[in-house]
């Protein structure tokens, strides 16, 4: 695999424009009754027609046989080696609620929990308290002050929150305080390496102050912290690829992932129609657009086969408005498969197509798992699609004399 750094010298900025459309959870599996996948069941004439004129293939998100989370799935599509650059749980949780995360910040995933008088855990989720209560408690914890560090406690949903620490010399290498089962006390946030001693002390101080703040509450009288994470040190997407990149995503998680790559985040509305409007409105200002379509994954995760079919048909209806812009390169990709029959992310290879004036045109019948397996691109690591895009857009010069 070519290192992003190795490729940099061969890339030139040109006026050509690239669109990367990520349909989250795009790939699927056949319905047991019809033996047709969601894409094969959906009426998607625009995607099917585009596939016939494109180069098609299948992408492997992280590694053959490995189902990826949203973080690795997207980083791979952006060209980052997802095994080298991992966004830890706490950091991804922060990005998922749209919280700003700067290099050096440490984030953890927090639970409100219940402890008894001896400090022994009796409920790891504090009776799954509701978001409204949780948000109030977060506000109170947010008032905790620790010298030399900025402490922010940000509500997520139900009993979950994000703890964000900002300051110099912080480290993610501290132990999780969640013992993962009841009947034990929360564990101390011990430093895993000497450089994490100070962070460990800060976290201990936060936990004991939180215990005092919550002492009169019931059931949410304590906190558990896990998934300590700092952002990986990602090369700058725009700099490496000599692009002026923008991201259009209705969901904060995907804006967050794009911001980690240092793309410009363009505010947009909640529907894909809004996103395509945003694409049109900003077309002149950028030469690379990442545009994200969430509903396919959501329906897949719900195990809703017919629902996922519908989301794909909704996506299909927007394709002509994207093509209207005549991008030099349009890629339709997925960060992973989310087969409705599994109701979860999966490791299955993901349909992929790239359209440009330099693509073969497959003469295959459509855009789906089986047809893309016949495509001229073959099965490739997701990590390589940006090189394909750059080449097809005339931005990547040849390697070697």
- Write out the residues near its own copies by the rule CB under 8 A: 1-2, 6-7, 29-30, 35, 37, 58, 62-72, 82-83, 86-89, 92-93, 227, 339, 341-342, 344-349, 358-363, 369-370, 373-381, 384-391, 396-401
CA proximity to 166, closest of 182, 179, 154, 178? 154
Nearer to its own copies, 86 or 314 (CB): 86
Nearer to its own copies, 292 or 318 (CB): 292
Find the shortest distance in angstroms from Cβ 37 to its own copies.
7
- Report the nearest approach of its own copies to the CB of residue 39 (Å): 11
CA angle, residues 285, 233, 145, in degrees to nearest 5: 100
Nearer to its own copies, 23 or 29 (CB): 29
In three-state secondary structure terms, 148 is coil
CB of 33 to its own copies, least distance (A): 13
- Strand ranges inside 61-149, DSSP E: 106-115, 121-123
Choice between 93 and 172, CB closer to its own copies = 93
Tell the smallest beta-carbon distance from residue 277 to its own copies (Å): 31
CB of 58 to its own copies, least distance (A): 6
- Shortest distance in whole angstroms from residue 272 CB to its own copies: 24
Please list, residue by residue across 63-96, b when 16 or more beta carbons sit within 10 angstroms of its beta carbon and e when fewer do.
eeeebbbbbbbbbbbbbbbbeebbbbbbbbbbbb
Report the nearest approach of its own copies to the CB of residue 310 (Å).
Answer: 21
Q: Could you check whether the bond before residue 400 is cis, i.e. omega within 30 degrees of 0?
A: no
Q: How far is the CB of 358 from its own copies (least distance, A)?
A: 6
Using alpha carbons, select from 207, 210, 209, 217 the residue that is nearest to residue 187. 207
Q: How far is the CB of 19 from its own copies (least distance, A)?
A: 16
- Specify the residue, 138 or 396, whose C-beta has the smaller distance to its own copies: 396
Q: Which is nearer to its own copies, 37 or 268 (CB)?
A: 37
Q: Please state the φ and ψ torsions of residue 184, each to the nearest 5 degrees.
A: -120, 155
Of 22, 38, 19, residue with least CA distance to 30: 38
DSSP classification of residue 113: E
User: How far apart (Å, rounded) are the C-alpha atoms in residues 251 and 271?
Assistant: 10
Q: How many residues does the chain have?
A: 401
Long-range interactions of 144-151: CB distance < 8 A, separation 24+? 144/206, 144/209, 144/210, 144/213, 146/202, 146/205, 146/206, 146/209, 148/202, 149/202, 151/206
List, in order, residues 6 or more apart from 143 with CB less than 8 Å away: 213
């Amino acid at each position: 695999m070519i290192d992003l750094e190795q490729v940099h010298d061969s890339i030139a900025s040109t006026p050509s424009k690239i669109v990367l459309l990520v349909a989250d959870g795009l790939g699927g599996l056949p319905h047991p009754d019809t033996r047709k996948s969601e894409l094969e069941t959906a009426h998607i004439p625009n995607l099917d027609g585009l596939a016939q004129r494109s180069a098609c293939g299948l992408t492997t998100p992280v590694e053959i046989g490995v189902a990826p989370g949203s973080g690795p799935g997207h980083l791979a599509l952006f060209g980052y080696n997802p095994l080298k650059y991992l966004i830890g749980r706490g950091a991804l949780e922060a990005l998922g609620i749209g919280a700003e995360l700067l290099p050096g910040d440490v984030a953890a995933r927090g639970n409100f929990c219940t402890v008894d008088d001896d400090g022994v855990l009796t409920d790891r989720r504090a009776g799954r308290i509701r978001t409204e209560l949780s948000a109030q408690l977060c506000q109170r914890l947010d008032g905790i002050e620790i010298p030399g560090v900025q402490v922010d406690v940000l509500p997520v949903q139900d009993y979950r929150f994000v703890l964000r620490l900002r300051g110099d010399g912080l480290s993610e290498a501290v132990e999780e305080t969640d013992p993962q089962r009841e009947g034990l006390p929360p564990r101390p946030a011990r430093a895993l390496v000497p450089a994490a001693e100070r962070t460990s002390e800060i976290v201990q101080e936060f936990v004991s102050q939180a215990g005092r703040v919550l002492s009169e509450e019931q059931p949410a009288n304590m906190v558990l912290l896990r998934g300590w994470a700092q952002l990986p040190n990602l090369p700058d997407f725009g700099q490496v690829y000599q692009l002026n990149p923008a991201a259009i995503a209705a969901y904060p998680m995907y804006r967050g992932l794009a911001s980690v790559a240092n793309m410009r985040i363009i505010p947009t509305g909640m529907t894909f129609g809004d996103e395509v409007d945003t694409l049109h409105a900003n077309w002149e200002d950028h030469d690379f657009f990442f545009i994200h379509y969430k509903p396919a994954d959501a329906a897949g995760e719900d195990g809703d086969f017919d629902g996922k079919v519908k989301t794909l048909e909704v996506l299909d209806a927007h394709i002509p408005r994207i093509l209207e812009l005549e991008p030099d390169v349009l890629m339709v990709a997925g960060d992973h498969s989310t087969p409705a029959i599994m109701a979860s992310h999966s490791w299955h290879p993901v349909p992929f197509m790239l359209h440009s004036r330099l693509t073969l045109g497959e003469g295959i019948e459509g855009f789906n798992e089986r047809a893309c397996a016949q495509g001229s691109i073959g099965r490739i690591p997701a990590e390589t699609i940006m090189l394909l895009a750059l080449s097809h857009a005339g931005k990547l010069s040849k390697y070697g004399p």
